[in-house]
Amino acid sequence: MSDKATITSVLKEATEGILTEDALAEIEAVFEESVKERVALHVEKALAEQDDDHAAKLEKLLEAIDTDHTGKLNKLVEAINTDHASKLAKAAKKFNKTLNEDASVFKEEVVSNISNYLELYLERAIPQEDIKRAMNNTSAVRMLKQLREALAVDSALAQDTIRGAVKDGKNKIQTLDKQVSSLNENNEQLTRELVRARSQLVLESRTKDLPETKRKYMFKVLGNKTPEFIEENYDYTLKLLEKTEEERLEGFKKEAASAKQIVDRPTKKQVIAEQKESVVTEDKSSDQPQSGLLPNYMDELRRT
């Protein structure tokens, strides 16, 4: 009111009463309107500046708050991770322990409980007394059967007729056993004699054309053999004998050849006598053809 009064009074003094009260009031209203508009512009400008300033400050504040919160959140996440990792490790350890130890114990307990339950159920369903009674009955029946068999044999043996028959049978069995033994011995002896006779027969038939010396030798070597052995080995034994004889004669020839230088030449009569004697002895000793050997021997003696 003081400003309004001042503007009205200033205009009155400046115009010295030229302007009427209405004009003054209108001028004052226009002036106030203009002042209000300018004030509104200034206020709006100040508010815009303040808003920009506050926006910038708020942005900085938000950035700072975000940075702070981010750091704090990172620390929080790290702490939570560490905590959760340790808890997980503990949980895994506990789980493993539970799985490996407690579960085994639990399993054994479950098995033991089921076993006990089965025991109790069986005892209730089939009482132990019944089982014992059944087993006693079975054992008694088996034992009575064995006793019955034993007693039946004894009572049969106790009767005189059966006992006499049994004794008679026993004596007959013993007699027949002795007879079988003696028959077996006779059979073996006869078999041996038969084999020997067959061997002699075979040797007789095979050596009937041989000289006496070879025949004796063949009987000596193969006389106690079986006929089959004689048939198989007769030719080989004969060849062996002839070979031995030849070797012996070769030995005589060599001996004579080595001894002819130191021995004096015999007279013709002695030679003839020796020749006759040797022919006789050779005819006696073997049937080997010696007719070719003696002339050679004599020719050798004459040549030296």
- Contacts to other proteins by CB under 8 A: 107, 110-112, 114-115, 118-119, 122, 126, 128, 131-132, 134-136, 139-140
Distance CA 257, CA 293 (A): 13
**Least Å from the CB of residue 143 to other proteins:** 8
**Least Å from the CB of residue 116 to other proteins:** 11
Nearer to other proteins by C-beta: 132 or 170? 132
Nearer to other proteins by C-beta: 43 or 134? 134
Q: Identify the CA nearest to 234 among candidates 200, 195, 209, 207.
A: 207
**Least Å from the CB of residue 111 to other proteins:** 5
Distance CA 260, CA 243 (A): 26
Residue type, 218: M
Q: Among positive and negative, which fits the CA dihedral 225, 229, 231, 236?
A: negative
Alpha helix locations (H) across 207-226?
212-222
Distance CA 149, CA 39 (A): 144
Distance between the two ends of the chain, CA-based, in angstroms? 205
Nearer to other proteins by C-beta: 103 or 165? 103
Q: By CB neighbour count within 10 A (0-12 exposed, 13-18 middle, 19+ buried), where does 46 fall?
A: exposed
**Least Å from the CB of residue 179 to other proteins:** 50
**Least Å from the CB of residue 97 to other proteins:** 22
Nearer to other proteins by C-beta: 72 or 132? 132
Nearer to other proteins by C-beta: 43 or 147? 147
Distance CA 219, CA 223 (A): 5
CB 74 within 8 A of CB 81: no
CB 287 within 8 A of CB 214: yes
If you compute the radius of gyration of the chain from its CA atoms, what whole number of angstroms results?
78
**Least Å from the CB of residue 96 to other proteins:** 21
Nearer to other proteins by C-beta: 98 or 224? 98
Nearer to other proteins by C-beta: 97 or 107? 107
**Least Å from the CB of residue 173 to other proteins:** 39
